[in-house]
Amino acid sequence: MRRIHMLALMVVISTGSTPAQDRLVKDGSGMNKFHSFNTIHFLNGSSTTSLALNSVNGIQFGNFFCGIGTGFDYYYHVSLPLFIETRMNLVKRKGALQFFVNGGLNFPFATRNKKLENRTGKYKTGTCYAAGLDYVFPVKNEGFILGLAFSNKQTIQKVDNNIWNPVLNRIENIPFEDKYSLNRIAIRAGWMF
């Protein structure tokens, strides 16, 4: 139940609008504008093929953008990334070719290891990062996003390790950490407003 409340809070924070943001959007100068980049990622790596959903919300400063993002990452182990993303316009004609980079924390969402079910134990927060290129095709004041990226997420599991202790004549749990560093190629599509 606690995870559902955390998820709802992250969605509200990432998609909410404040009066200050409304003033930025309505500002005709074009210098500082609020933008929301909402994308679906088709992830392919050595472990599996899967999906991820992200929403990044922030402010555009001329050719630069900075925002906070969150979403769902279904690759290998379901997790909730929370990250900071920066973007820079490389080429701007009708559309805009943008380079982006992001990094942050990867919170575990699922409680079982679906790939190795005999490994039980709690998951810990890991890291995540990505870098890539997006092309934004303008549609009035919004835009369609198509891009390619490299991303990595780290998943850490404290695996239960029950072993026999002959001195105490009992079984003891001496857990060890399993760290998964998952590299993926992402084909991205989405909408920017």
Give the per-residue pLDDT at 20.
40
Give the per-residue pLDDT at 24.
38
**pLDDT tens, per residue, the chain with 193 residues:** 455 445 444 544 444 444 443 433 444 444 578 999 999 999 999 878 999 999 999 999 989 999 999 999 998 888 999 999 999 999 888 889 999 999 999 999 876 666 665 566 788 899 999 999 999 999 988 999 999 999 999 988 887 777 788 888 888 877 778 788 899 999 999 999 9
DSSP annotation of 16: -
The string of DSSP codes covering 3-37 is HHHHHHHHHHHHH---HHHHHHHH-TTSSEEEEEE
Asked if residues 58 and 67 have their Cβ atoms less than 8 Å apart, the reply is yes
Give the per-residue pLDDT at 57.
97
d(CA 147, CA 7): 26
Coil, strand or helix: which one is 21?
A: helix
Tokens 């549609």 appear where?
A: 139
Give the per-residue pLDDT at 15.
46
Partners of 80 in the beta sheet? 107
The string of DSSP codes covering 116-134 is STT----EE-EEEEEEEEE
d(CA 168, CA 71): 47
Tokens 């080429």 appear where?
A: 91
Distances (CA, A) of 1 to 57, 82, 113, 150, 155: 26, 19, 20, 33, 21
* Residue 65, both tokens: 């953008």
Alpha carbon 110 to its chain's center: 15
Give the per-residue pLDDT at 184.
94
* Residue 109, both tokens: 């969402």
Instruction: Read off the pLDDT of residues 130-142 as tens digits, 9 standing for 90 and up.
Output: 999 999 999 988 9
Give the per-residue pLDDT at 2.
52
